[in-house]
Amino acid sequence: MLFNSIDFIVFFVIVLALYRVVRPLRWQNLLLLVASYMFYGAWDVRFLGLLVFSTVVDYVSGLRIEGAPTEQGRKRWLIVSMVSNLGLLGFFKYWDFGVESMAYLLGQFGLHPHLQTLGIILPVGISFYTFQSMSYTIDVYRRELTPTRDFLAFALYVSYFPQLVAGPIERSTNLLPQITKPRRKVTREDVRIALLWILLGYFKKVVLADTLGLMVDHAYRHTDEMTGAIMYVAGAGFAVQVYCDFAGYTLIARGVSRLLGIDLMRNFRMPFLSRTTNEAWQRWHISLSTWLRDYLYIPLGGSRGGRLLRYRNLMLTMLLGGLWHGASWPKVFWGGWNGTILVVGHMMRGDKKPKKPTLPTWIRQTTIFMILWITGLVIFRSRDMDQAFQVIHMVVTDFRWTPELWLYLKPTLAILGLLYAYHIWQEKEGSEFVLLETHPLVRTAAYSFMLITIAVVGFRPSPFIYFQF
């Protein structure tokens, strides 16, 4: 059930109407849990059992960790949680990739064993809900959280439908208290904010992301007919597409959730205004980057132990972050590319804190960052490393102007310019609610423009990109 579908709109209107008339907290949670399971089951009811399995394992593990009399017992139940969640994720997401990679590697040595893939279907959202559920158990183990004994509340925490299939990856310290305590009253201001987010989310997805997606898909389907310049512009288009697609999903999720009286975390903070890759990862997919920081980078040692260990930890974190995005070598290479840029940035900057730049310096640094960011996404978008190397070779050897280039450049620059104008406005005002705070005529014009363009373009059955991850 896609957010950008009439089915979801009807589904949510019914859920919201029922939710408004149900008063006891437990009945509200039960309604949302049933709705969440229906929402997930609409994708493929067979995989609903995996969601329930992860929920039960981590609920029990959290209680067992708290009740264990010894550190060894606590650690044993933490391992149960991690093996269960990572085992699910590893089998359904990486088994076939591992088999194919092993067969290729052995083939390089003249060995050709009969290794057969299973054709496993990737359950939607598994990368998100396993990380969210597992973080709860880790926090309990670290004594940063007291485990809940309310199974209904915990099940809703794991499966809450607005953010179930593509995040944000919520922390239990943020989401669980909102589930276990009586809902705050949804005010008129909440409704205004929620409707803005939903409208802006649909505009980013339906109008901006899907429009660019047609261009990007065509370029990558017909790579042999393109030039290096076109492929690089297509990579830039993909950078904008994936942002609008994912940020659009997050805005819709936050808006829908706010109408239910539950606040979800902000997942994007104007990433294209970044001056470095390090800054970008503080602005892009914040729920994942902070998850990787807290549950991978810091446990590996973080910045402790000297520069070489810090660089190793950065590289390992980004490689695994790339692998989280998909079971393919282009995703791993993209993670390594980001890790390399982060390491080089730390080597050049040292421990100096960045100064506030002048406008020319900001433009130069932002331009360099965008070139590096787009280069990584040119590879990320490739179906395999053969296509990735082909595109890189084309960019290096055939970067020339052709009449067709303008057909790709025009929509990319137009949409990127629109995003920059909006993000600079937000940054200047220090608020993500600038459209609510501006003059009513400006707000009315902006809302009308978004509504009209959404109506003209229309909803297409186009899945959100991060559903693949």
User: Which residues are part of the catalytic machinery?
Assistant: 325
Burial class (CB in 10 A: 0-12, 13-18, 19+), 443: middle
Own/partner contacts of 289-298, CB < 8 Å, gap of 24 or more, are 289/321, 291/131, 291/135, 291/169, 292/317, 292/320, 292/321, 293/317, 294/135, 295/135, 295/138, 296/320
In sequence order, the 6+-apart residues with CB closer than 8 A to the CB of 88 are 50, 53, 54, 126, 130
Distance in angstroms (rounded) separating the CA atoms of residues 453 and 469: 29
User: Residue 424 — left, alpha, or beta (φ > 0 → left; ψ -120 to 50 → alpha)?
Assistant: alpha
Q: Are 295 and 135 in contact (CB under 8 A)?
A: yes
Q: Are 244 and 270 in contact (CB under 8 A)?
A: no
Distance in angstroms (rounded) separating the CA atoms of residues 189 and 436: 10
Distance in angstroms (rounded) separating the CA atoms of residues 178 and 191: 18
Q: Are 249 and 255 in contact (CB under 8 A)?
A: no
Element (H, E) at 341: helix 329-349
Distance in angstroms (rounded) separating the CA atoms of residues 240 and 237: 5
Burial class (CB in 10 A: 0-12, 13-18, 19+), 109: exposed
- Helix 228-259 vs helix 385-397: angle between axes, to the nearest 10 degrees? 120
| Numbers of helices and strands, H then E, in the chain | 21, 0
DSSP 393: H
